[in-house]
A and B are shown apart, each in its own frame.
Chain A
């Protein structure tokens, strides 16, 4: 396994597609993120970051969602560019 930071959504380069592997934690936020469609297997893309680096704007299931960097860090993704 790689360093979890290196493949968290927070560190995905802007514009790159990736697949969600898992979401860490079981807080209400984790649940909310999943209810909004961020579950393992779904593709996500970071569209941009706000001034000062947070929040992030991501595209998932065809819509745009803003979430903070700290929340994006809990989402583990696999970039389509990297080899399994």
Chain B
């Protein structure tokens, strides 16, 4: 029996009307979907961004319809997981989702022939269909002409020109869809193929049919301004300059993230500090106050401080995707990718993994060959995701801030680029080995569309950025909050009894007493015991047991390292009033023998460890789901951790030999 629910989602689920958006990659489906539902979906000028079936509620004329945003596809007959999902939706094979009542075929007007190919296939499913002609604004700007009514007549289905960003044609589309729902027109579409029983005859027949329509209804103009994209490409994908520009763009992105973000980050940091002080001043002393100040504010606040950098990272990724540059990067990099036996299509998932491995791993669904797909999944977490950013940023800000080479390139930007490069190079080597051994298969083909350059749609860019930022904040408010509380508990229990400092001649007896009490508490707590237990293993990496505690906690999520260090050092900070910020606390941390715990080399070693280690529970869950295998998932966690340990060991011991200790 079904429980009665009355949230809007379930109302829509119960409604019978299902409408699906289908079309080529990059045709504008998601943009239209957003305009119709008001939902925020990821929109990007790159083929294959929508890899999962996305669903929203479309309210029109007092009805609530379920609107499905299908992944972009070129054909319904091929074999990638994406295309299979789309076909399953059209044939009603997805549980809980009946065959759509109406299909909106999204067709890019500037790329009619190839876009219509899919339409000729959808027509054979005999589902009522309306064509939404997107990019019509661009089409008209280029002074091409189309006779829409004749086009519609020849194709046998209604055709409506839309520009989602300007609300053009949306009302007409709505009206047409509700008309189709009522009339339920019979679709009778059969192409005649010549008698030769060649498998390809069908493809030829479809394109013949299409060429005929386009010839009769469209007047293409050949103008100089059409070659705008080619002109940009002359520079951006130039044999020599192209690669230099790619590196320069990446360097610029990191440099900007660093220099622009410092002001709001300092503000946030001081803001959280002030809140902590305020709470401390206004609440009675005790465990609860400690939990709020040292656990929650220090932990969650420590991570939230990095929000400006996350926002900037996603701003740049959105712009690179939306302008069409990402596809060019794949074009430039394919030769290198194919050297290690990877598919060029692996480039998008790997690039997305710089934001977060989870969407990246899901984007591998566009890769047809299961072995290539698995190889890509297994290396995706090496791409430095945004959760590592706080870790790198903290280390760099603490130990390398303000240093430059050649007077203008900051050491921080170079280290960042270095960490990202280390991840990439490791991924390449691992992929190469995997493709030679466990996942041997012939080199995969590379066929990829290069979309025209477009000015990024600002609304898309900002929506994308805000959605991501919200996810980050939500994570800080849930996972990281929970871990912060648990950690605080582990560090404060069992309670150490009162212990007394043994330096009677000291001038600041009270202060030293407090500091001593606190460090005794941490040492004897559960967390301290765990930290001490693993200390022998991490000693060769230059880490003490406190870093060990933070390291263990960060296996849940990488940015937890920052919050944990915040909690650990915050508990002690009262002993030393200068340690207002985490940065200072780290610099002030001392070994029992009085030497500093942290040196620039420790920071570098920690960063190297974070590049390579698999520290993210959500990623592990997604890999399990996408690979459908615990064995491969555990294999990944195991080899990544081993690799991280070895690399960190080499960094630290090597650095010491070179005299950087």
A29 to B344, CA, bound (A): 14
A40 to B201, CA, bound (A): 11
Chain A residues positioned under 8 Å from B526 (CB to CB)? none
A64 touching B229, Cβ below 8 Å: yes
B242 touching A51, Cβ below 8 Å: yes
**Given A48-B237, A51-B240, do A39 and B332 touch, yes or no (CB 8 Å)?**
no
The segment from B13-21, B72-80, B620-628 found at the interface with A is: B72-80
- Across chains A and B, the number of contacting residue pairs, with CB separation under 8 Å, is 117
A11 located at the interface, meaning its Cβ lies under 8 Å from any Cβ of chain B in the complex? no
Identify the interface centre among A26, A35, A42, A48: most chain B CB within 10 Å of its CB.
A35
B332 touching A65, Cβ below 8 Å: no
B110 touching A65, Cβ below 8 Å: no
A83 located at the interface, meaning its Cβ lies under 8 Å from any Cβ of chain B in the complex? no
A61 to B214, CA, bound (A): 11
A55 to B153, CA, bound (A): 40
Chain B residues positioned under 8 Å from A67 (CB to CB)? 445-448
B243 touching A31, Cβ below 8 Å: no
**Given A34-B203, A39-B207, A54-B334, do A66 and B445 touch, yes or no (CB 8 Å)?**
no
Which of A29, A55, A57 sits near B335, CB closer than 8 Å?
A: A55
B233 touching A68, Cβ below 8 Å: no
B192 located at the interface, meaning its Cβ lies under 8 Å from any Cβ of chain A in the complex? no
Q: How large is the interface on A (under 10, 10 to 19, 20 to 34, 35 or more residues)?
A: 20 to 34
B447 touching A63, Cβ below 8 Å: no
Total number of B residues with any Cβ neighbor in A under 8 Å: 42
B450 located at the interface, meaning its Cβ lies under 8 Å from any Cβ of chain A in the complex? yes
A28 touching B242, Cβ below 8 Å: no
A55 to B330, CA, bound (A): 10
A48 to B79, CA, bound (A): 29
B368 located at the interface, meaning its Cβ lies under 8 Å from any Cβ of chain A in the complex? yes
Chain B residues positioned under 8 Å from A47 (CB to CB)? 230, 233
B200 located at the interface, meaning its Cβ lies under 8 Å from any Cβ of chain A in the complex? yes
B204 located at the interface, meaning its Cβ lies under 8 Å from any Cβ of chain A in the complex? yes
A37 touching B237, Cβ below 8 Å: no
Residue in B closest to A61 when the chains form the complex, CB atoms: B113
Residue in B closest to A49 when the chains form the complex, CB atoms: B239
List A residues 41-84 near B (Cβ within 8 Å).
42, 47-55, 57, 61-68, 70-71
Residue in A closest to B230 when the chains form the complex, CB atoms: A47
B203 touching A35, Cβ below 8 Å: yes
**Given A39-B207, A50-B334, A55-B334, do A29 and B240 touch, yes or no (CB 8 Å)?**
no
- Digitize A4-45: 1 where CB-to-B-CB distance is under 8 Å, 0 elsewhere: 000000000000000000000011110111111101101000
A35 touching B446, Cβ below 8 Å: no
B220 located at the interface, meaning its Cβ lies under 8 Å from any Cβ of chain A in the complex? yes
A40 to B237, CA, bound (A): 29
B74 touching A32, Cβ below 8 Å: yes
A71 touching B446, Cβ below 8 Å: yes
A62 touching B220, Cβ below 8 Å: yes
A71 touching B240, Cβ below 8 Å: no
B114 located at the interface, meaning its Cβ lies under 8 Å from any Cβ of chain A in the complex? yes
Chain B residues positioned under 8 Å from A27 (CB to CB)? 445
Chain A residues positioned under 8 Å from B74 (CB to CB)? 32, 35-36
A61 to B199, CA, bound (A): 22
B78 touching A28, Cβ below 8 Å: yes
Chain A residues positioned under 8 Å from B447 (CB to CB)? 29, 32-33, 36, 65-67, 71
A-B contacts, 30 of them at CB < 8 A, read A28-B368, A31-B77, A31-B78, A32-B78, A32-B445, A36-B74, A36-B447, A37-B113, A37-B117, A39-B200, A48-B233, A51-B242, A51-B335, A54-B334, A54-B338, A55-B331, A57-B237, A57-B450, A61-B114, A62-B110, A62-B113, A64-B450, A64-B452, A65-B448, A65-B450, A66-B327, A66-B344, A66-B448, A67-B446, A68-B344
Please give 16 more A-B residue pairs, beta carbons under 8 A apart, in addition to A32-B78, A51-B332, A65-B449: A28-B79, A28-B368, A28-B445, A31-B200, A33-B447, A36-B447, A36-B449, A50-B239, A50-B332, A55-B334, A57-B237, A61-B111, A62-B112, A62-B113, A66-B331, A66-B344
Give B contacts to A, CB under 8 Å: 74-75, 77-79, 110-114, 117, 199-200, 203-204, 207, 220, 229-230, 233, 237, 239-240, 242-243, 327, 330-332, 334-335, 338, 344, 368, 445-452
